[in-house]
Chains A and B, each alone.
Chain A
Amino acid sequence: MSALLKVQNLSHVYGERKALSNVSFQVEEAKMVGFLGPNGGGKTTLFRILSTFLTPNGGGEITVGGWDCLKESNEVRKLLGVVFQHPSLDKKLTVKENLIHQGHLYGLWGENLTQRIEEVLGAVKLKDREHELVEKLSGGLQRRVEIAKGLLHHPQILLLDEPTTGLDPAARIDIWAYLKQLKEEKGVTCLVTTHLIEEAERCDVVGILDQGKLIAFDTPNHLKKEIGGEVIILKSTQCDILKASLEKEFQVTVLRMDQELRIEKENASEFLMKVMKSFPELIDAATLSKPSLENVFVHKTGHTFLEENR
Chain B
Amino acid sequence: MTFLLPLYTLWLREIVRFIRQKNRVFGALGQPLIFWLLFGTSFSASFKMGNMGYLEYFFPGVLTMIVLFTAIFSSFSIIEDRKEGFLQAVLVSPTPRLSLVLGKILGGATIATLQALLFLLLAPLLHIPLTFWTFVWSLKCLFLIALSLTAFGFCLAWRMDSIQGFHAMMMLVLLPLWFLSGAFFPSSGLPWILKGVMAINPLTYGLAAVRHLLYLGNPGVSDMPSLGLSLIVIVLWGAIATGVSLVVVKKH
Chain A residues proximal to chain B, CB less than 8 Å:
51-53, 74-75, 77-78, 80, 82, 84, 86-93, 97, 100-102, 104-107, 109, 149
Contacts and interface: CB of A to CB of B under 8 A. Distances in A.
Contact of B8 (A53, A82, A89, A104): A104
Contacts of A102: 89, 93
Nearest to A150: B89
A105 B90 contact: yes
Given A53-B88, A107-B94, A90 B6 contact: no
Nearest to A149: B89
A75 B17 CA distance: 30
Contact of A53 (B16, B86, B92, B94): B92
Given A90-B17, A93-B16, A107-B1, A100 B88 contact: no
Given A104-B8, A105-B90, A107-B6, 10 more contacts: A51-B92, A77-B92, A77-B93, A87-B85, A88-B86, A90-B13, A92-B21, A101-B9, A101-B10, A104-B5
Interface in B86-117: 86, 88-95
Interface string B31-73: 0000000000000000000000000000000000000000000
A269 B93 CA distance: 54
A149 B85 CA distance: 13
A74 B2 CA distance: 11
Contact of A107 (B2, B20, B84, B90): B2
Contacts of B86: 88-90
Nearest to A73: B94
Given A53-B88, A87-B84, A89-B86, A106 B93 contact: yes
Interface in B160-181: none
A86 B91 CA distance: 14
Contacts of A104: 5-6, 8-9
Nearest to B19: A92
Contacts of A106: 93-94
Contacts of B8: 104
A34 B5 CA distance: 35
Contact of A97 (B2, B16, B21, B85): B16
B16 A88 contact: no
A165 B2 CA distance: 34
A92 B9 contact: no
Nearest to B5: A104
Nearest to B93: A105
A18 to B, nearest CB: 23
Closest 3 CB pairs of A and B: A104-B9, A88-B89, A88-B85
27 contacts: A51-B92, A52-B92, A53-B91, A74-B94, A75-B94, A77-B93, A78-B94, A86-B85, A86-B88, A88-B86, A88-B88, A88-B89, A89-B85, A90-B13, A90-B17, A92-B20, A93-B13, A100-B9, A101-B13, A104-B5, A104-B6, A105-B5, A105-B94, A105-B95, A106-B94, A107-B5, A109-B5
A3 to B, nearest CB: 21
Nearest to B85: A88
A97 B86 CA distance: 13
A284 to B, nearest CB: 48
A105 B9 contact: yes
A100 B16 CA distance: 13
Given A92-B21, A93-B13, A80 B92 contact: yes
Given A92-B17, A107-B5, A82 B85 contact: no
Nearest to A106: B93
B18 to A, nearest CB: 10
A111 to B, nearest CB: 15
Contacts of B91: 53
B88 to A, nearest CB: 6
A258 to B, nearest CB: 38
Nearest to A85: B85
Contacts of A51: 92
Contacts of A84: 85, 88-89
A99 to B, nearest CB: 11
Nearest to A74: B94
A77 B91 CA distance: 10
Contacts of B9: 100-101, 104-105
A90 B12 CA distance: 13
Most buried by B among A74, A91, A105: A105
Contacts of B94: 74-75, 77-78, 105-107
Contacts of B1: 107, 109
A299 to B, nearest CB: 35
A295 B77 CA distance: 47
Most buried by A among B84, B90, B94: B94
Contacts of A82: 89, 92
